[in-house]
Structure 1
Amino acid sequence: MSAGNNTRLGITLMIATSVVFAAQDGVSRHLAAEYNVYMVVMIRYWFFAAFVIAVASRRAGGIIAAARTSRPVIQMTRGALLAAEICVMVTGFTILGLVESHAVFAAYPLLVAALSGPILGERVGWRRWVAIGVGFIGVLFILKPGLGVFNPAAIIPLIAAIMFATYGLLTRYVARDDTTATSFFWTGTVGAVGMTAVGLWFWEPMSNTDWMWMGTLCITGSLGHWLLIRCYEVAEASAVQPFAYFQMVFAAGVGIAVFGEALEVNVAVGALIVVAAGLFTLWRERQQG
């Protein structure tokens, strides 16, 4: 197989990425329960920005080439939006736990499909709209509105999913003119600047043990992004994207095994519906690609 079409390796890398990001989510939940979310995300972004700059400096043209963009406003919006989404999602981890947060967040591919029309001008056929509708029935299963047990905090990961879907669509939009390396550079640097402007106001002392966990968070974040970049270098995105759902499975496992969370029947059923609808949507996208 050619370096750009090794699907088996791409799937392996995507599953490895999911494992690393699930571990990162577990560490994020622990740290955000002890310290301010903005500070935790800020420190994570410092390391991420250093990683991004190091990657850019090794490529042809260096940092100047990586930073060159014809759409600086959209690139800055993307970077700020992703940083804000991470803050929202990590907050969800601390309030709802990993299991329920990821079950709701799994709706983001459906949101990408739904928003691709108004944002990118793409045509969304009736089959995809049916899948989107079915997927949100799954979300309602998870949220259980009107049954007397609805937790308003369950809206938090849904907001994060909307933000991440918008970020993904803006990434697809700037990809018409900018390279992946350029988008990656702006994601890390803008996020670091934005989170520093916010996070420094919430600085608080951290224990030596938690600094070790923070180091783990930073390393897993960079490793996860490196694995993801490598994944998309060796295989087509449409072939490997369905395997990104493994992150929900692994994160739920961390939530249950480490944090003692419970997997409610409605969450399991709803998550299965959402994933099935998402996989169908990805399949339709591949068929029409």
Structure 2
Amino acid sequence: MTQQNNARAGIALMIAATIVFALQDGISRHLAGTYNTYMVVMIRYWFFAAFVIALAGRAPGGLKVASQTSQLGLQVFRGILLAAEICVAVFAFTVLGLIDSMAVFICYPLLVAALSGPVLGETVGWRRWTAIGVGCIGVLIILQPGKGVFNPWAVLPLMSALMFAVYGLLTRYAARKDSSATSFFWTGIAGSVTMTLVGMWFWEPMAQSDWAWMALLCVSGVSGHWLLIKCYEMSEASTVQPFAYFHLVWTAILGISVFGEALRPEVVLGAALVVSAGLFTLWRERRQG
């Protein structure tokens, strides 16, 4: 991948990707609220696998080069982990709503920073540990574990964030030997095979109108990944990554306007702390880099 270092284009593509991913979240909530989550994610992965195969086929060396890896077990585990994380996240949308789920999920960059030491052997200084602590306080404000009866479903987006953080760290670990194209290929293939083995047992007849939503879900998933690929071709990750938090904004707008969700004051305060801590962590990583 040849980087063009066009910051404005990279930022625009990142914001466009967050819009598409927010739309994908909303459609996922609608479909998973009517049909089994495993079936919805399985069909989504079929299109994702077709996308990565087509992408690998067009690259120099084709499928043979893209699939070559000396750490197949790690690559397969990454793909399975991401598929499981998507199932948890989509189910969280149905029981908690988009806003509350996403407000907790956005703490994943802080979890990446916290786990980068034990997993990758990276040094995490006191400033980043402080930011991680602030982010944890933000999550606690959102979840409100001490107010009345704690909703056990509230741990789902936290589980999803932890799984996605581990997936991100394993991706960075795999990058020491494999190219991003190889990791992307096995993410789609391993996830598709896993979800097919699980989801085929939960197949349900789908209404004709919902097949249109399913098609849009698949297209949005592929489009979002394509936008991200183009985004990182245009600019450095450290430049565009802060704009990924726009995902929370679009999700909140969608949750309020379409699903009638409420934006609680504690969610706004907690999310502000999490985002601020995440932006500080990104800034520290960029300075050290």
TM range (shorter): over 0.9
How big is the shift at 1:233? 1.1
- Give the AA of the match of 1:26: G
Q: Name the CA distance, whole Å, in 2 between partners of 1:152 and 1:199.
A: 25
2:200 — aligned with what?
Answer: 200
Question: 2:141 aligned with 1:127, yes or no?
Answer: no
Query: Aligned runs of 1:34-49 on 2, under 5 Å?
Result: 34-49=34-49
Query: Aligned runs of 1:215-230 on 2, under 5 Å?
Result: 215-230=215-230
1:97 — aligned with what?
Answer: 97
Query: Aligned runs of 1:155-194 on 2, under 5 Å?
Result: 155-194=155-194
Aligned residues: 288
Q: Name the CA distance, whole Å, in 1 between partners of 2:242 and 2:19.
A: 15
How big is the shift at 1:3? 4.7
1:55 — aligned with what?
Answer: 55
How big is the shift at 1:70? 1.7
Q: Name the CA distance, whole Å, in 1 between partners of 2:178 and 2:185.
A: 11
Query: Aligned runs of 1:1-289 on 2, under 5 Å?
Result: 3-289=3-289
Gaps of 5+ in 1: none
Q: Is the 2:109–2:278 contact (alpha carbons within 8 Å) kept by the matching residues of 1?
A: yes
Q: TM-score, normalised by structure 2?
A: 0.98
RMSD: 0.9
- Give the AA of the match of 2:23: A
Deviations 1:26-46 (A, max 9, x none): 000000000000000000000
How big is the shift at 1:166? 0.2
- Give the AA of the match of 2:94: T
SS in 1 for 2:33: helix
Moved over 3 A (4+): none
Q: Name the CA distance, whole Å, in 2 between partners of 1:230 and 1:183.
A: 17
Gaps of 5+ in 2: none
SS in 2 for 1:259: coil
Q: Name the CA distance, whole Å, in 2 between partners of 1:215 and 1:85.
A: 21
- Give the AA of the match of 2:234: V
Q: Name the CA distance, whole Å, in 2 between partners of 1:125 and 1:73.
A: 32
SS in 1 for 2:258: helix
How big is the shift at 1:4? 2.4
Q: Name the CA distance, whole Å, in 2 between partners of 1:149 and 1:13.
A: 42
Q: Is the 2:74–2:174 contact (alpha carbons within 8 Å) kept by the matching residues of 1?
A: yes
Q: TM-score, normalised by structure 1?
A: 0.98
How big is the shift at 1:106? 0.7
Q: Name the CA distance, whole Å, in 1 between partners of 2:60 and 2:242.
A: 32
Q: Name the CA distance, whole Å, in 1 between partners of 2:172 and 2:3.
A: 23
How big is the shift at 1:150? 2.8
Deviations 1:68-104 (A, max 9, x none): 1121111011100000000000000000000000000
Q: Name the CA distance, whole Å, in 2 between partners of 1:145 and 1:24.
A: 29
Q: Is the 2:99–2:255 contact (alpha carbons within 8 Å) kept by the matching residues of 1?
A: yes
Deviations 1:151-195 (A, max 9, x none): 221100000000000000000111111111111100001000000
SS in 1 for 2:242: helix
- Give the AA of the match of 1:52: V
Q: Is the 2:3–2:232 contact (alpha carbons within 8 Å) kept by the matching residues of 1?
A: no
How big is the shift at 1:51? 0.5
Q: Name the CA distance, whole Å, in 2 between partners of 1:106 and 1:130.
A: 17
The farther-off stretch of 176-185 and 148-157 is 148-157
Deviations 1:13-35 (A, max 9, x none): 00000000000000000000000
